Amino acid sequence: MASQSHRRQVFLFLAAVLLPCVALLALGLLLVVQERELGVARFDEERRRVTRQLRQDLSTQLDRIALRQATALADGPELLHAWTYDDSLVALVAGFAEGRLSLPWEQDEASSDSRALLGQGEFGDRVRQGERAEFASENPARALNPYRQALEVAQHPVQEAYARHLLARALNKTGRQEDATTEYLRLVTAPPTLVDENGIPISLYAARQLLETGQSDASVWEALRRSLSTEKWLAPPALYLLRDLANRLTSGVSDAPLSEDAQSLVDDVSVKLARTEQALALKADFTTLGLSAPDEMPAHRENGWIAYGTPTWLVGVAPVGYRENSVLVAVRSAPILASLGAGTYGSGDVVGEASLTTAAAP
């Protein structure tokens, strides 16, 4: 009986000690789990806050860049077709109206001015007379006099350059290669600002003919370099011709230093052509991007910038327009994201990272 009473006392003692311990242990585990859940929630909230801050800072910086470019146009309208902008982050500035984007070389009046000048007055009459003889009658010899007369009555440098080009072409067709080469050597030194109605520097036609006859002297190299170094966007036809001429130079050079120079020329043309083709693609896709003029934008919008192309441009609309046009600005994403990544965002273990994800092409 005493033994049974003793066992009961031991059991009650253990129950009195162990049950509170188990309860405390369970409560402690519950608190640990709850603390972990609260930590995850705080981390997620801080991460969302950092993300919002990154987005806001990126949008603010992009809006400032766009505003600077748009306001600069008021003092310097020529910036609308400039190849290099005062901000190295900017890849493109273009005007648009009524859903149509106008690219920089389309804003340049040189091509339209040439079109008017080349068909103007007596000069235009002589050119048309020569072209009828050269092409309709297939008699380039009869075209020589009209082209010479056009050269004599030329009143503008672009008229003179174009007439010399036509004369050299007709001389070449009649078998007078030496005389044609003389004219081409004069023409190849013409400045790249003298363009035809397609925006192609007329000197490049001379460079092409000289290369075809095996002459790749310094004047040809200089003509290509001058055209490539222009401060304006070149029209795509001019860039394609430059690429062909540069490739021809590369294949025709055996000397190592000259070969390196030729390859450098090819690389420089490729860089300009890639940027130009991306601008062309942007124009083709413009109506599908959902960009609108400042006065048509919703009052509250989270972000008016979109990622486009490869390499990625961040494309948006400046908050102010230029004359009757709105202003589209494309910013290179890599350097601006790098500048954001250099900053510190968040606190504790939460650090914001600037990265960009673009949707796959359909």
pLDDT digits (tens, 9 = 90+) for 91-150: 999 999 888 999 999 988 999 999 999 999 999 999 999 999 999 999 999 999 999 999
Q: Are residues 65 and 141 in the same domain?
A: no
Q: Are residues 194 and 135 in the same domain?
A: yes
Q: Is residue 360 part of a domain?
A: no
Q: Is residue 274 part of a domain?
A: no
Q: Is residue 159 part of a domain?
A: yes
Is the per-residue pLDDT at 237 higher than 90? yes
Is the per-residue pLDDT at 4 higher than 50? yes
Q: Are residues 181 and 116 in the same domain?
A: yes
CB neighbour class for 134 (10 Å; exposed up to 12, middle 13-18, buried from 19): buried
What confidence tier does 359 reach under pLDDT thresholds 50, 70, 90? Answer: very low
Domain's final residue, options 190, 210, 230: 210
Specify the pLDDT at position 360.
39
Domain's final residue, options 210, 233, 265: 210
Q: Which of 150, 131, 154 is nearest to 142 (CA)?
A: 131
Element (H, E) at 332: strand 326-332
Q: Is residue 243 part of a domain?
A: no
DSSP 243-280: HHHHHHHHHT--SHHHHHHHHHHHHHHHHHHHHHHHHH
Say which CATH number the domain at 302 has. Answer: 3.30.450
Say which CATH number the domain at 170 has. Answer: 1.25.40
DSSP 172-239: HHTT-HHHHHHHHHHHTTS-TT-B-TTS-BHHHHHHHHHHHTT---HHHHHHHHHHHT-SBPPPHHHH
In the chain, how many domains are there?
A: 2
Q: Is residue 349 part of a domain?
A: no
Is the per-residue pLDDT at 40 higher than 90? no
Q: Are residues 128 and 102 in the same domain?
A: no
CB neighbour class for 250 (10 Å; exposed up to 12, middle 13-18, buried from 19): middle
Q: Are residues 87 and 156 in the same domain?
A: no
Q: Is residue 71 part of a domain?
A: yes
Q: Are residues 95 and 117 in the same domain?
A: no
∠ CA 241-238-115, rounded to 5°? 130
Q: What is the pLDDT of residues 165-178, one digit of tens each?
A: 999 999 999 999 99
What is the extent of the structural domain holding 132?
110-210
Q: Are residues 183 and 123 in the same domain?
A: yes
Q: Are residues 83 and 164 in the same domain?
A: no
Q: Which of 56, 61, 79, 74 is nearest to 320 (CA)?
A: 74
Is the per-residue pLDDT at 218 higher than 60? yes
Q: Is residue 82 part of a domain?
A: yes
Q: Which amino acid is at 103?
A: L
Question: How many other CB atoms sit within 10 Å of the CB of residue 240?
Answer: 15
Among 32-41, 211-220, 241-250, 322-331, name the one with the lowest average pLDDT: 32-41
Domain's final residue, options 210, 245, 263: 210
Q: Is residue 135 part of a domain?
A: yes
